[in-house]
Amino acid sequence: MVQSKLLNKFRNIKHFFAETDSNIASLSWQNSNNKLFEAEQIHGNKVSWLGEDGINYVKDVDGLGTEKLGLVLKIRTADCLPIFIFDIKKNLIVAIHAGWKGLYLGIINKAIELLKEHGGKSKDLIIAIGPHIKKCCYAVPQKRIERFFSKIPKQINYYIELKGNWFLDLESIAIFQLMQEGIKKDSVDILSGCTCCGNQFFSYRRDGKNSGRMSNIIYLTDNKYEKN
């Protein structure tokens, strides 16, 4: 598994972005004190806020948020961006699945709006963007690039054109949207590595329908029962 150095600074939060060979069943989140919640993930922009009671598999959403200890939020990815958001003052967390459709529909903005509804503030947010497909491998139709013209200024350099091929930079779009929400640049941790390059991570672009999915986990803890 790989982790964010920024999030690892906080003892009351646990997280990981799984690799293809990660045995998540053996990790510390799986105990009687924790309850796992998973989003259906439909490439939309809905984010659901969880209390202690609720259905473990939340339909029609691409993100989950909570302020409750021991509610484990799980996002599955195989090229899309797994994004964790943590409010260090209010102890709020959100996990979102963001592909190009989710970014186009503003899932990052929706997630931050939801945090603010529960007392969060942009200046207190730490963001970790896990392994995802990079622009080196994400060739897309030109029309997909053009769909973002009305949303992303061209000077952001969110795509490259090379010998008639177009490559979309999902990471740059996400960073731009975070900056729009008032997030400080040094509060965003982007993990290195492209899911499509090599075999460390699952990649739908590389392996197609045979691709697995990486489990990305985040949860709050009171730190009494957890080891760093």
Domain assignment of residue 94, yes or no: yes
Written as one string, the DSSP assignment of 78-131 is: SSSEEEEEEETTTTEEEEEEE-HHHHHTTHHHHHHHHHHHTT--GGGEEEEE-S
In the chain, what percentage of residues exceed pLDDT 90?
Answer: 78
57, with CB counted inside 10 A (0-12, 13-18, 19+), is: exposed
8 near 126, Cβ under 8 Å? no
CATH classification at residue 72:
3.60.140.10
pLDDT band with cut points at 50, 70 and 90 for residue 198:
confident
219 beta partners: 14
Residue 91's Cβ-side half-sphere holds a number of Cα atoms within 13 Å equal to: 15
Number of compact structural domains in the chain: 1
Domain assignment of residue 137, yes or no: no
Check whether 27 has a pLDDT greater than 60.
no
Full-prediction pTM beyond 0.85?
yes
Helix 107-117 to helix 170-180 angle (10° resolution) is 30
Q: What does the pLDDT average to over 92-115?
A: 98
pLDDT band with cut points at 50, 70 and 90 for residue 127:
very high
Domain assignment of residue 203, yes or no: yes
Q: What does the pLDDT average to over 183-197?
A: 94
- Lowest mean per-residue pLDDT among 12-21, 23-32, 34-43, 77-86: 23-32
Q: Which residues, including other chains, have CB under 8 Å from residue 8's CB and lie 6 or more apart?
A: 228
d(CA 53, CA 26): 25
Domain assignment of residue 30, yes or no: yes
Domain assignment of residue 152, yes or no: no
d(CA 45, CA 41): 9
Domain assignment of residue 87, yes or no: yes
Q: Domain of 106?
A: 7-132+171-220
177 near 158, Cβ under 8 Å? no
Domain assignment of residue 226, yes or no: no
Domain assignment of residue 139, yes or no: no
